[in-house]
Structure 1
């Protein structure tokens, strides 16, 4: 069956915490970090959560993320408060998850040009669509970023990954069957497990190759998704080379 749609996780796949915003927020608390370490800290944090199948709630993520940034243990709670404030756009006036990942916008545009539907499937707070639009990453109508088919936000649909409900909604909106879809995510515990349960092929975005699981596919950069999309018949359902 031809690949008709690519589902993309939000955080970690098409956007990352903006390094300059993170640095500024922590600097306001007297905590100094290297903004260039933010991408690495994110992927390290989600992998640590995956390894113990821990709760991926925002507070758990932020604690692990701060440790990965090298925040001193005695300042972790201060850092969490600063980043929690930053993450609330209504209070900070900023969009924390606003740094497009490498190749994100270009890859989405190329997929759409190839006739493949692109749906963002994200665990968020109900504001994913407006934040992605205002960050210039993607939107569902013509705008500054790439145009996607739809954005399915757990905060709006009442189901979050790894529950299959959010994937079912995405399939219905895209008008495709699960066998014709791949889902790209950066977490095993939410993306890989959830997509698999929904009958969708999962592709794990793992830039640092920290995941050693051989029961699902991996890519190091979003631009490499093509090997799992075209030509579809060359890649049977199951693990593939990184």
Structure 2
């Protein structure tokens, strides 16, 4: 059964997969050297299909992600091993790989902020707060983006999703009970599992509707659909 959103008072959001994805131009350079496409729309779709292939209720399978990504990008099977090697080199050399801002993110986040208090919880490498500010997405306090209460970076706090402890600092900053907080993420393995273990209600960003558990939790196609989902909750709670 899909959990109710009636008691939600605040929203925490992931960054990777919700606001930004791997830069398709960088991915395209690698796959095109091995017979794949440079079409940005195809590469983005390949990323989403790769994430679905690697996702599960257990551990995330990065090998499955990369394998599906390369196939969807048109890399021939005989080139897969070499392409994977080059992909790993690029990932190591480009800590800013996850920096392509998805369409409508700023508007979607602003719409959420009109309804509820917001915060960020991201598995990252210590750079997510600066990335969000540089891209004018959000920041704590005044700035170019939407104001949020907190930005929790797993590298900074020393624990990462799906470990539920990563949500502790954010929930404390929001000053609400964990069961009154929703978490918006793009994976079951990292985001929904961690949120559920921490007592939060998960909202799954599933652009291509590939999640097999449609009746288990809330789904949206993108960040732009989160505010309308929460607004419906708010309207329902005020009906006589």
Q: TM-score with structure 2 length normalisation?
A: 0.81
What secondary structure sits across from 1:119 in the alignment?
Answer: strand
Query: Which segment is superposed worse, 159-168 or 66-75?
Result: 66-75
User: C-alpha separation between the residues in 2 aligned to 1:167 and 1:156?
Assistant: 13
Deviation at 1:200, TM superposition (A): 0.8
Q: TM-score with structure 1 length normalisation?
A: 0.81
What secondary structure sits across from 2:231 in the alignment?
Answer: coil
Conserved 8 A contact 1:95-1:135: no
Match of 1:128 in 2: 128
Match of 1:239 in 2: none
User: C-alpha separation between the residues in 1 aligned to 2:68 and 2:57?
Assistant: 12
5+ residue gaps, structure 1, are: 237-242
CA displacement 1:153-210 (0-9 Å, x = unmatched): 1111111111110112221122221122111111111111111111111011111111
Aligned length: 230
Cα gap change, 1:121 to 1:43, in 2 (>3 Å): same
Give the alignment's Cα RMSD to 1 decimal. Answer: 2.7
5+ residue gaps, structure 2, are: 1-5
Matched, 1:221 2:222: yes
CA displacement 1:78-102 (0-9 Å, x = unmatched): 43344444444xx44x732222223
User: C-alpha separation between the residues in 2 aligned to 1:150 and 1:60?
Assistant: 33
Match of 2:71 in 1: 67
What secondary structure sits across from 1:199 in the alignment?
Answer: coil
Would you identify which runs of 4 or more consecutive aligned residues in structure 1 move more than 4 Å?
233-236
Conserved 8 A contact 2:36-2:74: no
User: C-alpha separation between the residues in 1 aligned to 2:140 and 2:61?
Assistant: 27
